[in-house]
Structure 1
């Protein structure tokens, strides 16, 4: 696998990496295996795919957590610029207290990914941000934090609450029985708001009927903060809900949303179907078509191809997607049927059922 431009920049400066180093948000491009001089680097990732891969690499200490646990201070921190600047702020705030006094903090990223203006993210914590290196449209920033400018990290300060009614609108703190208050975290899709695709899907939630036994089972694939799954639970409290996402931030946000609304459901980290077991009466999703900064249809196409074997007889796959995406032909190919439930100028809801 080819190294990303940002990883190549780290390779050019690897002579300055020594001691106990913590990497965060690093791409799964094999760059860590080329840093042979490091002993047991700590790697914080929010991506289940990366974590699963790193578990099989010797000398690594991979962490798949929304917050780094208490660890001894490290000699250097290398943060790869996330797509969302709010997530960058979140990571910087939680990582800085882990750095030894006088040690260096690196922030690296591609120029089209927000690194050009990222010095503003670091300036509140230091007297000077240095542009350490640049190449292949990527930049490496460096700073030595000032201890007095670093505050203890509190996860609660980064939780964002937003309200939703099963009628799609609720004021914060509304007492309506149908009101939901979602909890979101930086890095979660559509952080702190309802996106247009999910809004359309919520207007057309199906009644889930049990194919086996008496309790209907539903899977919210790519759950984000849990808005679709929790809305299903509000509509059908008897539902057995499983929610999954590849992002640890989404997994944590959905758990927080369930607890905050006193609802119950299983939440798991999974790369699409990798950790999903059993069959369901409904699989529902607002699937992504981006991997990082790049458009990528492959994950959703794989999701559709494998969905049928995770559904009971009579079970339904229901997704919302941009109109320009050519999923209906694939759904028809896999299920032998595909129905358009609703559409707007931008989105469509597609449904297919496993034949009885």
Structure 2
């Protein structure tokens, strides 16, 4: 059981009835709260919740349409995303209770101060290195406009400017990260056929690929619903057509790919996690056509080449700079 869920269950008197759990972990919490339902934006956690509690969790970037008596937010890592989520919930809870739970190392004490915008917050519990807060919403905000919260910027590329649309919570929100910038310089010579942008974020790499290889089908894949929405907005802003899908890692990708390109993530919440990237390196061969390429950027300190060579083929370093390396390998 997630420690944040354990803290909730120490205070069962607050969590009966029609409760919305926003950003809930994929543990047994819904089993302990039979009248509650969830809202998730993580495709992997949503799949696990659906498998165990069919019909009780909503997936997307906005709350479910139905009414709920109270809501609890599991604090996300991103401050901008937390602000959007709190406002989205508080807008639906005039005169009712909103709860916030999170780890101390995840910034719960700072985030709890945001509850004062809605009423008088109070701490209900502190345990398992977590805190649980509550506020009765006396000042409900307007429903936030998610697209209005997007940050937009433009990249100057050799074939013209590219508009990027980034929603709250998306990796490298509102700016081009250094790793992707380096990878964009090494996209030439890809084989003909379907291309995959794995961990697409705001869709920069996928949009550049589609413009650079207009005859190649391009798929953009991310585990996060906000990233999927951002990528769709970026493609639309540039008049590009590509498939964007939400899925839990490389297993959700199509097969027969000519190339997989990625600036893969290695963080999940406040904890470091290399699992998704390591799984990509182990399973890429199952999704690549014979001769298909894996091309990715990674921090120089990450020891990915041995894993790539074990599961795919000889690994070559195409470039190095600013603390990053570009690796290339082809399916034997």
Shift of 1:285: 0.4
CA distance in 2, matches of 1:256, 1:185: 9
1:110 alignment counterpart: 103
For residue 156 of structure 1, report the CA deviation from its aligned partner: 2.2
Structure 1 length normalisation: TM-score?
A: 0.89
- Provide the rounded CA distance (Å) in 1 between the counterparts of 2:257 and 2:229: 23
Quick one: structure 1 residues 137 and 58, their matched pair in 2 at CA, closer, same or farther if it must change by over 3 Å?
A: closer
TM-score, normalization: structure 2? 0.95
1:166 aligns with 2:135: no
* CA deviation after TM superposition for structure 1 residue 105, in Å: 0.5
Shift, 1:345, TM fit: 4.3
Residue among 247, 260, 275 paired with 1:270: 247
CA contact (8 A) 2:74 2:101 kept: yes
Query: Is contact 1:224–1:250 with CA below 8 Å preserved after alignment?
Result: yes
Q: 1:255 to 1:121 in 2, by over 3 A?
A: same
In 1, Cα distance between the equivalents of 2:59 and 2:286? Answer: 28
Distance in 2 separating the partners of 1:322 and 1:22? 38
Q: Is 1:136–2:128 an aligned residue pair?
A: yes
Which residue of 128, 143, 166 corresponds with 1:152? Answer: 143
Is this contact kept in 2: 1:183–1:254, CA < 8 A? yes
- 2:211 pairs with 1:220: no
Match of 2:297 among 320, 333, 341: 320
Per-residue CA shift, 1:234-292, capped at 9, x if unaligned?
22222210010000111111111111111000011111123222211110001111222
Distance 1:353 1:59 in 2: 40
What 5-or-longer segments of structure 1 have no aligned partner? Answer: 168-176, 211-215
Q: Does the 8 A contact of 1:66 with 1:248 survive in 2? A: yes
| 8 Å contact kept, 2:150–2:167 | yes
Residue pair 2:124, 2:134 contacting (<8 A) in 1 also: yes
Contact 1:160 / 1:184 at 8 angstroms: preserved in 2? yes
Aligned with residue 88 of structure 1, among 82, 89, 107? 82
Given candidates 25, 38, 47, the residue that maps to 1:43 is 38
CA distance in 2, matches of 1:317, 1:67: 34
5+ residue gaps, structure 2: none
Distance between the aligned counterparts of 2:165 and 2:314, measured in 1? 36
**Could you list the per-position Cα deviations for residues 297-349 of structure 1 after superposition, in whole angstroms to 9, with x for gaps in the alignment?**
22211111110121112211001001111100111112231100001141111
- The CA distance in 2 between the partners of 1:280 and 1:58, in whole Å, is 34
Distance 2:273 2:53 in 1: 30
CA distance in 2, matches of 1:307, 1:279: 11
Distance 2:54 2:181 in 1: 45
Matches within 5 A, 1:282-301: 282-301=259-278
Q: Of the candidates 17, 23, 26, which is equivalent to residue 25 of structure 1?
A: 23
- Aligned match for 2:3, one of 2, 5, 13: 5
Aligned residue runs from structure 1 range 53-68, under 5 A: 53-58=48-53, 61-68=56-63
Q: How does 1:226-265 map to 2 (within 5 A)?
A: 226-265=203-242
Q: Which residues in structure 2 correspond to 1:73-84 (within 5 Å)?
A: 74-84=68-78
Preserved CA contact (<8 Å) 2:39 2:64: no
Q: Give the drift of 1:296.
A: 1.7
Paired residues in the alignment total 332
* Partner in structure 2 of residue 306 of structure 1: 283
C-alpha distance in structure 1 between counterparts of 2:271 and 2:122, whole Å = 29
Secondary structure of the residue aligned to 1:282 is strand
Q: Relative to structure 1, is the Cα distance of residues 272 and 289 closer, same or farther in structure 2, using a 3 angstrom cutoff?
A: same
Q: For 1:156 and 1:45, how far apart are their aligned partners in 2?
A: 19
Counterparts of 1:268 and 1:59, CA distance in 2: 21
Give the corresponding residue for 1:189.
Answer: 171
